[in-house]
A and B are shown apart, each in its own frame.
Chain A
């Protein structure tokens, strides 16, 4: 299996931009949800779905597909927006029904949504499930990979360390993890809450291969994906340094935007900002 899109750099940039615009619209319509993290991670998520991963949006259960896991479920705006652009769900459904009763796009992801591989919301749980999938794939001698998106605040969960240790020890080289190093969590900057240098050190000590990039630079993201696919004998961690709120000036690097949507005039302002970005 391959990536059915295999977009070029300009196409990926365009898609990431469209994802940002649509997730702002959906958040504004829902009246609740997370803005900062999802905006910052849009480039990486777009690169995985439209360039890196072997997937088939028309057959979300294809046995040989890569598994894309989002361990931090509050990133649902960027997850759903990307699934919509890839064709798993409709863009209209996303913009109008996100977080609505009776739809298939709950505030935190679950199996109602085509393309979602694990329920998430309680931070950390995706990491172990990714480990289990990767180990099962090895047992069955399957070629598919596990792509694991994690957040930096989430690294403080014991379960994440347990899972990272286990994947490193078992040399699960079919795992490519992407860490959204946005230095943001609810109570402030990750560096102030519990520090961040240890995160990279820990993964290195657990036996991971580490690539550090600017997670909002599409060329760097693509290169990191190419490099990670060549790694043997170790799981790979791509530390993607991103700007939370990316593209919307008044949200950028402000952790107060972790968990709220734009309202009223903020919506037009946010869309204006994103409009300028593309020109």
Chain B
């Protein structure tokens, strides 16, 4: 049995039948909660109020909700203007359109000006499913990660999205939070610690380090559990903050294991895989295999079907672990 780090107080039934909930729902509930105590919080949305879950806030505090219409460039600018006036704006749309459509506005009005705007990119990744490639945003992490002043968070599940939203509210500066549409297993609980920039080590191991974020953290844990039965001892790191990257936690782990697999539901180029490769390349070159989307666009399909087709499953992570261990031992 994989030993889970008690410090994180993870869900007891991760490996039996975990409850399912979309992380965007965690965001929606959290925004409503922070809006209750913090009157500076305002919310803006581009005609996607229901699916981005901004609706919770909009219903509770209609005077602090701003419908922008289908205009994502305007969304980013208005949010920046409100931040310059002392507000804490949460601006939400699908990641395909924000930051997909409005990168220039995010770059200048938000990142360069260091305005206190929180950008919610919903429905990211291939698991958007049948809508197809146009709506399956895979490049958002890379786009946001290259911007100075920007913080980039990819929550693993419902409770972590809640925690990330709370943390982003009190954090001063631009934050990008990436959310998925699908219901995914609940791994964390309401008492799981969360600090921006601090990776969570859910399982300690000595043979290999798996660094994952978003819904791929669950796949990583399932892979680690299966590998444990094959006598391969895995360290599992939930790297929810792609930027700032927790270099210390990663390097400490890799110094011990000497082999790494990354796992994410985004382009590995510029994504978590890219970030980890940059870090290791410079400081600690070891065998590395990156699981994620490999320089291709998405396509229509059911989420589970797409995860398989794009090699984003626990099984794919297991194969990658075997590969890096073999390379390490060569």
CB distance from B75 to the nearest CB of A (A): 8
Whether A129 sits at the interface, judged by CB under 8 Å, is yes
Whether B48 sits at the interface, judged by CB under 8 Å, is no
Taking CB atoms and an 8 Å cut-off, the chain A residues in 127-169 that contact chain B are: 127-137, 139-140, 158-159, 162-163, 165-166
Q: Is the pair A127, B112 in contact by a Cβ cutoff of 8 Å?
A: no
12 residue pairs A–B, Cβ–Cβ below 8 Å: A120-B108, A122-B104, A126-B77, A128-B73, A129-B80, A131-B81, A136-B82, A139-B63, A139-B87, A159-B74, A162-B69, A165-B71
Q: Among A85-93, A111-119, A211-219, A237-245, which stretch is in contact with chain B?
A: A111-119
Q: What are the nearest 7 A-B pairs in CB distance?
A: A128-B77, A132-B81, A162-B74, A129-B81, A132-B78, A162-B71, A136-B85
> Which of A130, A158, A159 makes the CB contact (< 8 A) with B81?
A130
Q: Which residues of B contact A137 (CB under 8 A)?
A: 85
Point out which of B82, B83, B85, B104 has the most chain A C-beta atoms below 10 A from its C-beta.
B85
Alpha-carbon distance A265/B49, docked complex (angstroms): 60
**A163-B77 in contact given A110-B113, A129-B84 (Cβ < 8 Å):** yes
**A128-B76 in contact given A119-B112, A122-B104, A139-B63 (Cβ < 8 Å):** yes
Q: Which residues of B contact A163 (CB under 8 A)?
A: 74, 77-78
Q: Which residues of A contact B104 (CB under 8 A)?
A: 122, 125
**A166-B68 in contact given A125-B77, A132-B79, A132-B80 (Cβ < 8 Å):** yes
Alpha-carbon distance A158/B77, docked complex (angstroms): 13
Q: Which residues of B contact A126 (CB under 8 A)?
A: 77
Number of interface residues of B (CB under 8 A): 30
Q: Is the pair A110, B112 in contact by a Cβ cutoff of 8 Å?
A: yes
Q: Is the pair B113, A133 in contact by a Cβ cutoff of 8 Å?
A: no
Alpha-carbon distance A120/B84, docked complex (angstroms): 14
Interface residues of B (CB under 8 A from A): 42, 63-64, 66, 68-69, 71, 73-87, 89, 104-105, 108-109, 112-114
CB-based nearest B residue for A121: B108
Q: Which residues of A contact B68 (CB under 8 A)?
A: 166
CB-based nearest B residue for A129: B81
Q: Which residues of A contact B108 (CB under 8 A)?
A: 119-122, 125
Q: Which residues of B contact A134 (CB under 8 A)?
A: 81
Whether A36 sits at the interface, judged by CB under 8 Å, is no
> Which of B64, B74, B89 makes the CB contact (< 8 A) with A166?
B74
Q: Which residues of A contact B77 (CB under 8 A)?
A: 125-129, 131-132, 159, 163
CB-based nearest A residue for B69: A166
Q: Which residues of A contact B89 (CB under 8 A)?
A: 132
Q: Is the pair B113, A132 in contact by a Cβ cutoff of 8 Å?
A: no
